[in-house]
Structure 1
Amino acid sequence: MPEPNEPSAALLLKAILRVLDEGSIAALATLTNARKNVGTKILVAESGDAVGSFGDVALDRVVAKRTPGFLESRDEAHLFHVRDFAPELTEWAEASILFERLEPEPRLVICGAGHVGAALARLASLTGYKATLIDDRPDFVVRDRFPDGRIELIAAQNWSDAVREAIGSGRGVSVAVVTRGHNEDEECLRAVIATDADYVGLIGSKRRTNMVLDRLREAGADVEKLRKVHAPIGLDIGAVTPEEVALAILSEMVADRRGGTGGSLSSWRRESELGKGKQVR
């Protein structure tokens, strides 16, 4: 008799490829420690649809039920003991299941190939993003400037069409609007907020970004989507050079994607030492 996962291996692979092609997310759960069926897998999409089996309907069901919580945590992987989330399944009490997050590689669409946009595209590629760099000046998006093949270069005939096409469904996509002027910013941002991009940021001072957002608001743009725009874009790290500005922008994008705060990891130490000092006095 074949193992529970053998007949469904092809279906499981097909389901994984579909998740990646559609730009959606899912969890791949693998039975890693148990009295039987070790190595069996089940893929659970965020929609709740499941493919595969551990050879036990009850175990399949509780793992599918546990999946949304794992996906919301944004962890890349987590090892769970069955007893921790399904104590009623005494037969599997000592078993452990590895949950792994499946999603396409993150994408970054950059509007504007000036100094900051160019630096951002290069840095994003180094950190695992598939970057798309768009500009309406063909000379700014030539391969001689960007030999990295992971950076897609688009010379836009018009900003709106190029931006919407590059963003697509918006799932897993961050967008940075870093063009050379108010008009270009407005045109790009108008196209961006018509999509469902995960993250949208606009470069510029408070005054400049407010000007662009106000124009779009007055033109009838979706107020809720405008409210979600990170403007000015990036974390405050005191950035000066284009490369530093790019780092500030990408840091905020990563924090947003991973659920980070953007704060200092060592702040607890100073707060703790300050508290001790107060107690001594």
Structure 2
Amino acid sequence: MTLPIPDETEFEAEMSRLRAAEAPFAVATVVRTLAATSAKPGAKALIDAAGTLRAGWLGGGCARTAIGRAARAAIAERQPRFVSIRPEELLEADGVTAGEEREGVHFARNGCPSKGSMDVFVEPVLPRPRLVICGTGPVARALAGISARFGFHRVVCAPGTEAAAWPCVEEVVDGHAPDSAARFHVVATQGMGDAPALRAAVASAADYVAFVGSRRKFAALSERLAAEGADRSALARVHAPAGLDIAAITPDEIALSILAEIVAHRRTGDRTATTAPVPDPLPDR
């Protein structure tokens, strides 16, 4: 049987298309194989968030199904996965079951007659996280500027604002509305539409929401929004005042403190430290 040879040009082109669309995807790389497998070490594939293979080669449907599931999980969890696909008898011999995880290795069953085994590293490639900045004042402008080199898709939201006034950011929205894709949401309206901006922020389900203002001001505004029906638990999670306590005074210093808090939140949420050694997933037999 003649196996298809992956087209590297097509692979790179599809990766560029997915990146340009800011769509999440995963790169699956075959690390090791035993016995008969269609794909060999070094084979790669691009898999989208639905688990569909978009480019590359990973072998037959037996492997693709398991790797598609792993890709979906890796994208959802924002963490890479190491998958060991084995025939049932090899899983039983090692005392593991399909779907089990041990020391960072996720096991899956290979039901193909070939009885081959394959280890695959699945790495998620995620779009830039959306940083929504509400407001057009000094702190909002400082935050938009200082965050330019930190890998965010920056969105400035304010009624009446125009894209031409914000050439440094990726997106400008005229008004305040919940952004379902936002991971970080900073309300820096500073008296210019605080209530609608905060209402949209807490309704966005962002991982991090911050309010630039005093604790007293936020407490009063929070009570007002809660009385109007806003989710009290979401309001309780708002970082107010925004930013780490670095005794900031100027708009640039306040923006720096907010960005530092966002980076800390982003990295502690995205990274799971593991110190245990990863075992040899495919012992020679």
Q: Hey, what's the Cα distance between the residues in 2 that align with 1:4 and 1:86? A: 27
Looking at structure 2, the residues matched to 125 and 9 of structure 1 have their Cα atoms a distance apart, in angstroms, of 31
TM-score, length-normalised on structure 2?
Answer: 0.66
Matched, 1:30 2:49: no
- Of 39, 60, 63, the residue aligned with 1:56 is 60
Q: Partners of 2:81 and 2:51 in 1: how far apart? A: 19
CA deviation after TM superposition for structure 1 residue 152, in Å: 4.8
2:241 to 227, 232, 245: 232
Aligned twin of 1:125 = 148
- Structure 2 equivalent of residue 213 of structure 1: 222
C-alpha change, 1:12 and 1:184, in structure 2 (3 Å) is same
Is the 1:16–1:43 contact (alpha carbons within 8 Å) kept by the matching residues of 2?
no
The counterpart of 1:162, out of the listed 166, 175, 181, is 175
TM-score of the superposed pair, with normalisation by structure 1: 0.66
Aligned residue pairs, count? 242
Instruction: Rate the CA distance shift 1:225–1:48 in 2: closer, same or farther, 3 A.
Output: farther
Contact 2:212 2:242 in 1 (8 A): yes
CA displacement at 1:202 relative to structure 2 = 1.0
Structure 2 gaps, min length 5: 87-104, 271-285
Q: Distance in 2 between matches of 1:72 and 1:137?
A: 35
Q: CA RMSD in A?
A: 3.9
1:3 Cα deviation after fit: 2.2
Indicate whether 1:114 and 2:137 are aligned: yes
| Inter-partner Cα distance in structure 1 for 2:249 and 2:140 | 14
How many Å apart are 1:54 and its aligned residue? 0.7
| Runs (5+) with no aligned partner, structure 1 | 262-281
Work out whether residues 213 and 240 of structure 2, in 8 Å CA contact, stay in contact via their aligned partners in 1. Answer: yes
Alpha-carbon shift at residue 78 of structure 1 (Å) = 6.5
Secondary structure of 1:100's counterpart equals strand
3-state SS, counterpart of residue 210 of structure 2: strand
Seq. identity, %: 29
Counterpart Cα distance in 1 of 2:84 and 2:108: 10
In the TM superposition, residue 120 of structure 1 has moved relative to its aligned partner by 0.8
CA distance in 2: counterparts of 1:96 and 1:172, whole angstroms? 34
Task: Give the partner amino acid of 1:67.
Answer: A
> Distance in 1 between the 2:161 and 2:71 partners?
46
Q: Is the 8 A contact 2:11 2:46 kept in 1?
A: no
1:248 aligns to 2:266 (yes or no): no
User: Please, which of 188, 202, 218 is the counterpart of residue 178 of structure 1?
Assistant: 188
Q: Within 1, Cα distance between the matches of 2:231 and 2:85?
A: 45
**In 2, Cα distance between equivalents of 1:86 and 1:136:** 51
Pick the aligned partner of 1:40 from 20, 26, 43. Answer: 43
Name the structure 1 match of 2:91: none
1:276 aligns with none
